[in-house]
Amino acid sequence: MRIFYPLMAGALVLAGCSTPRGDHWTHNWKPLFDGKSMDHWVATDFAGHGNVTVENGELKIAAGDDLSGITWTNGALPHMNYEISLQAMKLQGSDFFCGLTFPVANSSCTLILGGWGGGIAGLSSLDDADASENETTRSMAFDDNRWYHILLRVRPDKIEVWFDDKEIINASIVGRKVSLRPGAIYLSEPMGVATYVTSSALRDFKLRLLEP
């Protein structure tokens, strides 16, 4: 399904006044994880998934046979003009520790960090090409037991990703097919974080709307 016009979603209402950020006007951040419980989240029903727990203000995803993760359960989300911010840590494993699935217009996409044996970052999928075979593919090193900051921005014309404050992805989506990689990752919709035979920890997970 190709994206030619953005779908504007205002179902997630954020409190507070607008504040400037660069050349954009934004609403205040809304926490998605309270650091205390699994409220608004559920362990994703992947076959052979690992356990999900909350410890010391962190959401921990244990490694499974293949995919493990969490899925958002608290209703509708914006599909355009928004940002997601979180911190993620790879605890142990040999593949991706953060597979962030997020809405894009009338479809979804996944940001992969540490895929294909641990060293690939990118978006799955653009024009049916996954994170290892499109222009967003990046070779990166990811250390165990280190917190990384991730900022994702979804606009009608592009998807951008910053990793520890360095922009690593700036991908045009105008007139392109944005979709999920075929397989069980669809269980992460409408939003979720998945890992592959890898354990990870998440914290400071939040979202804010951007003015169109």
Instruction: Tell me if the pTM is above 0.75.
Output: yes
pLDDT tens for each residue of 79-117: 999 999 999 999 999 999 999 999 999 999 999 999 999
141: β partners: none
Average pLDDT rounded to a whole number, residues 119-125: 98
pLDDT reported for residue 76:
86
Burial group, residue 104, by CB count within 10 angstroms (0-12, 13-18, 19+): buried
Separation of alpha carbons 201 and 54, rounded Å:
9
pLDDT tens for each residue of 141-163: 999 999 999 999 999 999 999 99
Selection from 152, 157, 92 nearest residue 123 by Cα: 152
Average pLDDT rounded to a whole number, residues 50-59: 98
Of 2.30.110.10, 3.40.50.300, 2.60.120.560, 3.40.50.920, the CATH number of 60-209 is 2.60.120.560
Mean pLDDT of the chain: 90
pLDDT tens for each residue of 163-195: 999 999 999 999 999 999 999 999 999 999 999
